[in-house]
A = this chain, B = another copy of it.
Amino acid sequence: MKEAPFLSTKSADSSTERRQFLRRGGLFASGAVLGAAELLPQVANAAGNLPPETPVWTKTQGTGFLNPPYGLPSPFEKNVVRKLPATAAAFPTGSRTPLQNLHGTITPNGLFFERHHAGVPGIDPEAHRLMIHGLVARPLMLTMSDLMRYPSVSRTHFIECSGNGSAEWNKHTGKTAQDIHGLLSCAEWTGVPLSFILDEVGVQAKGKWLLAEGADAAALTRSIPLEKAMEDALLVYAQNGEMLRPEQGYPLRLLLPGFEGNMNIKWLRRLKVGAEPFQTREETSKYTDLMPDGSARQFTFLMEAKSVITSPSGGQKLNQFGFHEISGLAWTGSGLIRRVDVSVDGGKNWREAVLQEPVQKCALTRFRLPWRWRGEAAVLQSRATDETGFVQPTRTQLIDARGKNSNYHYNAIQSWRVGTSGEISNVHV
Does A295 count as interface, using CB distance less than 8 angstroms?
A: no
The stretch from A43-51, A300-308, A376-384, A385-393 touching chain B is: A43-51
Does A2 count as interface, using CB distance less than 8 angstroms?
A: no
CA distance A289 to B239 in the complex (A): 38
The stretch from A111-119, A169-177, A411-419 touching chain B is: A111-119
- Residue A193 contacts which of B25, B44, B48, B146 (CB distance < 8 angstroms)? B25
Closest to A126 in B: B76
User: B111 to A242, Cβ gap below 8 A?
Assistant: yes
Does A349 count as interface, using CB distance less than 8 angstroms?
A: no
User: A327 to B152, Cβ gap below 8 A?
Assistant: yes
Q: Which residues on the B side are within 8 Å of A202 (C-beta)?
A: 17, 43
Does A199 count as interface, using CB distance less than 8 angstroms?
A: yes
- Shortest CB distance A5–B (Å): 10
Query: How large, as a class, is the contact surface on chain A?
Result: 35 or more
User: A246 to B74, Cβ gap below 8 A?
Assistant: yes
Given contacts A62-B120, A110-B72, A324-B149, contact A103 B237 (CB under 8 A): yes
Q: Which residues on the B side are within 8 Å of A188 (C-beta)?
A: 104-106
Find the residue from A7, A9, A13, A189 having the highest chain B CB count within 10 A.
A7
Scan A76-112; emit 1 where CB is below 8 A from any B CB, else 0. Answer: 1100111110000001100100000111111111111
Residues of A within 8 A of B (CB): 6-9, 13, 15, 17, 19-21, 24-25, 27-28, 41, 43-51, 55, 57-66, 68-77, 80-84, 91-92, 95, 101-112, 114, 116, 118-125, 127-129, 131, 133, 137-143, 145-146, 149-154, 187-190, 193, 195-196, 199-202, 215-217, 219, 237-238, 240-247, 250-251, 267, 269, 319-320, 323-325, 327, 356, 358, 360, 366, 368, 370
Sample of 20 more A-B contacts, CB < 8 Å, known A62-B119, A65-B92, A105-B241: A28-B151, A43-B138, A43-B201, A45-B141, A50-B129, A57-B121, A57-B215, A57-B216, A65-B114, A65-B120, A66-B82, A69-B83, A73-B246, A76-B251, A102-B242, A108-B241, A149-B323, A149-B325, A150-B325, A151-B325
